[in-house]
Structure 1
Amino acid sequence: MPPSEAAESAQTRHDGVMANSAGMRDLGVYIHVPFCAVRCGYCDFNTYAPGEVEGATREGYVEAALQELALARGTMRGDARSVRTVFFGGGTPTMLDSAALIALLDGVRGTWGLSADAEVTTEANPDSVTRESLHALARAGFTRVSFGMQSAVPHVLATLDRTHNPANVERAVTWARDAGLKVSLDLIYGTPGESLADWRASLEAVIALEPDHVSAYALVIEPGTRMGAQLRRGEVAATDPDVQADMYELADTLLTQAGYSWYEVSNWAREPGDRCRHNLAYWRSQDWWGIGPGAHSYLGPHVVDGEEVAARRWWNVKHPRAYAARLAAGESPEADGEELSAEDLRLEEVMLRLRLRDGVPVESVEGRAEAVSRLIADELVDGAAALRGTLRLTRRGRLLADLVVRSLT
C-alpha cells in the first residue's frame, strides 16, 4: 500500500474508533453567525448585510446564541458526551470581535465540554481579521481558520463582490500561521468572465501560500440572487459546464502535483490530519447541533432518559431578529423538523459518503447491481474498488457525482 493510502487508512480507522468510543456517537457543533459587511451578488445563504438586519444587533445575537446553548443542555440531558468539532460559519463569523467568538466557544464548553483534541474552526474574510484577533482566538482554543479567498484575480473578485484584494490573503495567512492556526483557503470557479488562465493563476497563488487545506466549489448562480437577476437580464453569462469541468480537472491536477490529496469531491488536504473533521462528520452522518438563525441540526437514533429516540433533523427560524425574540421569550428557536426513517438514513448515507474518497460499501446499494455495472462501464465508479466491496468515484465520476448518486438512489 502506498504511504499516502496507508496514512488515509490509518486516519479512517482512527475516526472510526473515536466515533464508537464509550459506545456513543461523536458530536459536532455548528454556530451560524449571520452577519456580512455586504451581500455578495452570488450568495443565497442565510446572511444579512447592515440594511437587512431590521434592528437585530450582534450583541443581541450573541446573547441569544448563549441562551440557545443553555436550552440544548436541557434537551440532551443524560446524553453525556463532549464535542470533538466546532465550526463557526456564516455569514462572516469574524464580523463579531474575538471576545464574542470566544464567549460562544466558552458557551459550548459549558454546555457539553470540548474533547482534548477538538477541532475548532472559524470562517473569515481575509480583510475581517487582524494579527491580534487571530492570536486571541488561538489562545482561546481555536485551531483552524478558513479564509474565503475565492480568487486571486482582481476582476473575478470584483464580479463576486468580494471586498478584499489578493494582498489581504497573503497577510491574513501569515498572521494565522504565526498564531499557530491551521489554514484552509476556499475558492470558487466558473465565475462569469473567468477564463481558464484566470483560474490557473488563482490555483498557483493558493499553492504558493502553502495552506493546509483547499476547497474549490463550482459557482452555481441561484435564481433569487442579484447575480441570478443579472443572468436573467443577459448582463452576465454563465460559464459553460464543460469549461467548469476543465477547471475542476485543472484544480485536481495542480493540487495533486503540489502534494494535496482529495478526500471529498471539492476538498483537498496536505495530510490526513489536515482534513476538516467537522465537515467529515456531515458526510459520515454523524451528529451535530446547530446554533444560530437558520442553523440546522441532526441527531441520529439516540437515547434520552433511557428511552430510544428516532433520528431527527430540525432547523431554526432564519432572521436574527425573530431568532433573538424567540429566545428572549424563553421559547425554542426551532422553525420545523422531521424524523428520519431507516430508509431515509440509508439513502442519505449513499448520497453523502459517495462524495468521499473512502466511498460507500457495495451493500449500501443492494438491489442496484445493474446501475453499478453501468457506472463501472461508464468509468464513473472504480471497478477494482467495487470488486473489493467499495463504491468509489473516479475523477470523471467526481465531475458527475450528482448523476452517480441519482443512479444509485
Structure 2
Amino acid sequence: MSTMTDPPKADFRLSMLINDTRYRSLTFQVIAAIVIALSIWYLGNNLIQNLRAAGLNISYSFLGDPSGYDINQRLIEYDSQASHGRAAVVGILNTLLVAFLACITATLFGVIAGVLRLSNNWLISKLMAFYVEIFRNIPVLIWILIIFFIITASMPAPRAYLGEDAERGMTLGLFAFTNRGIYVPFPYFTGGFGGIANWLLVIGVLVASYFSTRVVNKNAQIKQEKTGIRPNTLLLNAAIWLVPLIVVLFLLGLSWDLPDPLANRFNLRGGLQIGAPLIALWFALSIYTGAFIAENVRAGIQAISKGQTEAAAALGLRQGRIMNLVILPQALRVIIPPLISQYLNITKNSSLAIAVGYADITATLGGITLNQTGRAIECVLLLMLFYLTASLLISMVMNIYNASVKLKER
C-alpha cells in the first residue's frame, strides 16, 4: 500500500537568483540599489576630495552672517542687517505666497474656461478655445514680462496721488493703483497675544469653523437619506463661520492701516503694498497654468457618460445644478491627477520671479546670497531641498484629497 507524501523541496542554488522568476526581480532590484548607492558614494567622495584639495569645505555657517541687502516685498520683519538665513526665510515665504495665490486663481480660471469651452454657445466656446491655445503655447516667462511691462507703463506713478494738488484720487478712498503696485488697507491687531500669534488664532478659528460646517452638512445628508428631506443649513453654516470670527476679531482689537496719499513725499505710506512684480508673477502663472487646467477639466467632463446628464435632466435639474451636483463630482477622479502636476508646475515656475525682481527663494538664496558668499554648493543643495519638500507636500495633500473623491464601490 502506497502513501501520499509531499514532493521533496529543491535545494536553493545561486543560479536560481537569475533563472527562477521567484527571485529574479528581487535580484535586479538589489543590484540596482547597490549600483545607485556606489554611484552616490563615488560622486560625494569625489566632491569632498576636490573641495579639500582647493582648501574648501561644505559649511552652512554663512547663514548666520549679515545679508547686507534689502527686500521690498516681505511677509516678516527684515532689514539689511538681518542674516542670510532670515533672507532665505523671507524668500521661502514669498515663494509659498505666490504659489498659493496662483494655484487658487489658476484653478478658478481653469474650471471656468474648461466648462465654458463645452458650452453650446458657439461664441463662448470659441473664445475659451482661443484663450487656451494662446496662453498655453507661449512660454510663461514672456507672459510675466508682458504683464509687468503693462503695469509699469500704463499705471501712474505714486506721485500722482500725493499732495493737495494730486492728479488722481484714491479708489473709494482706500485703494491706489500705481506702477509700483497696488496699495490696499492692511489689517492689524491692537490687543491679543501680539504678532503672529493673533493671526494663528484667527486661522485656528476658521479651521474649526470649516470642520464644524462639515459636521452640520454631514448630519443634514444623513437626515436626507433617511427622510428624503434635507434640512436647511444655510443660516447655521453662516453663523458658524461669522459669529466666532467676529468675536475673535473684536477681542483682538482689529484695526486698519490705510494708505496715506496726502503727505508731501515721493511715495505713499501706510497700508499694504502689493508690488508690481508680485502681481505680474501671480497673474501670469494663473492665466498660463489655467489654460492647462481648462483642458484637464474638459477631459474630465467628457469622460462622464452623456447618460448621466440626460438622467439628471429627466429628474428636472437645471443645467447649472447638473454640472455642480452630477458631472463635476464624478469628473474629479479624472481631473485631480493631472491637476497635481499643474500645481507642482506653478510652484517650480515661480522661480522665474527673478526676471521681474520679485524676491523669491531663487532670487534670495540662489541669487544674491550665493553671489555674496560664494557658497554655490550649499545654496543649490538648500534650493533643491526646498523645492523637493514643497513638491512632496503638495503631492501628499492632493493625493489624500484624490483618495477622498475617488469612486468607492459598495
**TM-score of the superposed pair, with normalisation by structure 1:** 0.24
Higher strand share: 1
Higher helix share: 2
Query: Radius of gyration: which is bigger?
Result: 2
Q: Which has the higher contact order (CA 8 A, sep 6+)?
A: 2
**TM-score of the superposed pair, with normalisation by structure 2:** 0.24
